[in-house]
């Protein structure tokens, strides 16, 4: 059984106009995405800014409940996992994700106040101290405040906060993108180690293909709310079939891409990438492509894929 399953997930936001705020349209942030995550696996969601990857992650967390579609956790409605602490998150910016008015003890313990109200203060401090030391922060630091720590240390505190409820799934939303390169490696190694120690599953949201390649097993390529390619890590990085995936890989090699991300207004029924695609033709403007199965674990949505 899959740990997490999403089927035809859509997250639409209404566009209001005028004095009386009439609905004049909608932004299709996530538009018919399906995915599955096995227990103990890492699924990476890759895309540029505005692709819908963070919205999809927030939908899993319950911050943006799906407009339509079905999302299940261990075969049951995902909402049950929201309230039991089985799904937690680590956000991008450790400088803004930690409350500056709270000390580390209260920051890390906050998620379990609702779940385990019976926990007394002494047991709480012991538990917080243990999880802090697990992520590389001394237990004695629990009475200090966020401004007293470096960026890497703050992200370790964020990770401790995510693990305090003993979750099974952690959503990692660009967890190292705001850190120095040397610190990134340390945090990635920590996440890899914690995955094994705590038997965790990750959804790793990123635009950085190098970090994705280090940590993930499976990959979703998303653009303007739609999946354009999915597969195991080797298929995506060595045999990319969608032109958009290839553009992302080229960008990672520092090749200058001159095309621009189009506005999201005026959604069409065709492929959302056709305006930037070197292989695009008339059919791409009218019909979103059906899935092409290249291998058992490699799927592409493209009228003109690169087939090896």
> Mean pLDDT throughout 265-291?
87
Q: What is the rounded distance in angstroms from the CA atom of residue 235 to the CA atom of residue 245?
A: 11
Q: Higher confidence at residue 94 or residue 264?
A: 94
Q: What is the DSSP letter of 3?
A: S
The ranges assigned to domains in the chain are 4-86+207-301
* 259: number of Cβ within 10 Å: 11
pTM listed for this prediction: 0.91
Count Cβ neighbours within 10 Å for each residue of 197-229 and write b for 16 or more, e otherwise.
Answer: eeebbbbbbbbbbebbebbbbbbbbbbbbbbbb
Q: What is the rounded distance in angstroms from the CA atom of residue 98 to the CA atom of residue 159?
A: 11
Confidence band, pLDDT 50/70/90 cuts, at residue 112? confident
pLDDT at position 259, please? 43
Strand-pair partners of 173 = 205
CATH of 4-86+207-301, one of 3.40.50.300, 3.40.190.290, 3.10.180.10, 3.20.20.10: 3.40.50.300
The mean of the pLDDT values for the chain is: 91
Q: What is the rounded distance in angstroms from the CA atom of residue 68 to the CA atom of residue 305?
A: 29
Strand-pair partners of 28 = 12
Task: Give the pLDDT confidence of 208-260 residue by residue, as tens digits.
Answer: 888 899 899 999 999 999 999 999 999 999 999 999 999 999 887 654 444 44
Confidence band, pLDDT 50/70/90 cuts, at residue 154? very high
> Mean pLDDT throughout 272-295?
93
Q: What is the rounded distance in angstroms from the CA atom of residue 125 to the CA atom of residue 136?
A: 16
> Mean pLDDT throughout 275-301?
94
Token pair for 151: 């960026």
Token pair for 146: 């966020």
Count Cβ neighbours within 10 Å for each residue of 274-287 and write b for 16 or more, e otherwise.
Answer: bebbeebeeebeee
Token pair for 301: 């949505």
């Amino acid at each position: 059984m899959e740990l997490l399953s999403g089927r035809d997930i859509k997250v639409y936001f209404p566009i209001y106009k005028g004095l009386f705020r009439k609905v004049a349209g909608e932004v299709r942030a996530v538009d018919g995405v399906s995915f599955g995550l096995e227990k103990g696996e890492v699924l990476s969601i890759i895309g540029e800014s505005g692709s819908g990857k963070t919205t999809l992650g927030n939908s899993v967390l319950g911050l943006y409940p799906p407009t339509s579609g079905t999302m299940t956790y261990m075969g049951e409605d995902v909402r049950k996992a929201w309230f039991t602490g089985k799904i937690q998150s680590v956000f991008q910016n450790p400088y803004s994700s930690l409350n500056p008015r709270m000390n580390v003890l209260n920051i890390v313990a906050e998620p379990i106040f609702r779940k385990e109200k019976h926990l007394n203060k002494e047991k709480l401090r012991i538990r917080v101290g243990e999880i802090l030391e697990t992520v590389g922060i001394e237990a004695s630091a629990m009475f200090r405040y966020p401004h007293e720590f470096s960026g890497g240390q703050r992200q370790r505190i964020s990770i401790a906060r995510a693990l305090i409820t003993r979750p099974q799934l952690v959503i990692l939303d660009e967890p190292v993108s705001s850190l120095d390169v040397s610190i990134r490696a340390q945090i990635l190694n920590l996440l890899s180690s914690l995955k094994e120690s705590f038997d965790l599953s990750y959804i790793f949201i990123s635009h950085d293909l190098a970090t994705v390649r280090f940590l993930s097993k499976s990959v979703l390529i998303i653009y303007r709310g739609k999946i354009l390619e999915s597969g195991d890590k080797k298929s995506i990085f060595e045999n990319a079939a969608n032109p958009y995936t290839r553009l992302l890989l080229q960008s990672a090699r520092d090749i200058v891409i001159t095309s621009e991300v189009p506005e999201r207004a005026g959604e069409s029924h065709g492929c959302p990438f056709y305006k930037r695609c070197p292989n695009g033709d008339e059919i791409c403007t009218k019909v979103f492509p059906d899935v092409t199965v290249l291998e058992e674990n490699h799927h592409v949505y493209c009228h003109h894929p690169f087939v090896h």
